[in-house]
């Protein structure tokens, strides 16, 4: 019987050792999966490499995505200047007219929108003030 007790104690010790080994390997896997901690520690240890790599990547991205400079010069610049002036005057005149007519436009829009809003309010309020029209009304 003593042999069985010794064997049982040995198996219990082996199980405890296996559990401890599994816990340690699980903690190692968790540390390996924690990317933010790994990145922080890597940046602390190799800050110059990270900054240099970021600088190089930024330069490469700006070089590859940069648009080529192209200036189109019209042979007939005599027509371009009056057209540009006319366009500028049109934009400026439109802005001035809109600024002057803004109160009138706002009053007109509110007068048009108020009946529409009242109708929607009456239609979707909890207690309608007037009955809704049906197909049988004939209107």
- Could you report the per-residue pLDDT of 108-122, keeping only the tens digit for each? 988 888 888 888 888
| R_g of the chain computed on alpha carbons | 40
Instruction: For the chain, count helices (H), then strands (E).
Output: 4, 0
Quote the CA–CA distance of 51 and 61 in Å, as a whole number.
15
* Angle between helices 35-45 and 47-65 in degrees, nearest 10: 100
On whether the CB atoms of residues 113 and 105 are closer than 8 A, the answer is: no
pLDDT recorded at residue 33? 80
Distance (Å, whole) CA 86 – CA 93:
10
Q: Tell me: the pLDDT tens digits for 63-110?
A: 888 877 777 766 666 677 778 888 999 999 999 999 999 999 999 988
How far apart are the C-alpha atoms of 130 and 114, rounded to whole Å? 18
Residue extents of the structural domains in the chain: 81-131
Looking at residue 112, its pLDDT comes to: 87
| DSSP three-state, residue 102 | helix
- Decide if pLDDT at 137 tops 70: no
Q: Is the whole-model pTM more than 0.75?
A: no
pLDDT at residue 56, as a whole number: 95
pLDDT of 123 higher than 60: yes
């Amino acid at each position: 019987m003593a042999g069985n007790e010794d064997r049982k104690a040995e198996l219990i010790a082996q199980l405890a050792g296996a559990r401890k080994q599994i816990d340690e390997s699980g903690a190692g896997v968790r540390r390996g999966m924690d990317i933010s901690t790994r990145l922080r520690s890597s940046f602390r240890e190799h800050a110059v490499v990270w900054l240099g790599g970021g600088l190089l990547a930024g330069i490469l991205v700006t070089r590859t995505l940069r648009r080529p400079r192209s200036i189109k010069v019209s042979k007939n610049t005599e027509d371009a200047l009056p057209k540009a002036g006319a366009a500028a005057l049109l934009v400026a005149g439109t802005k001035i007219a809109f600024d002057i007519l803004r109160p009138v436009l706002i009053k007109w829009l509110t007068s048009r929108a108020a009946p529409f809003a009242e109708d929607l309010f009456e239609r979707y309020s909890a207690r309608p003030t007037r009955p809704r029209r049906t197909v049988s009304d004939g209107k």
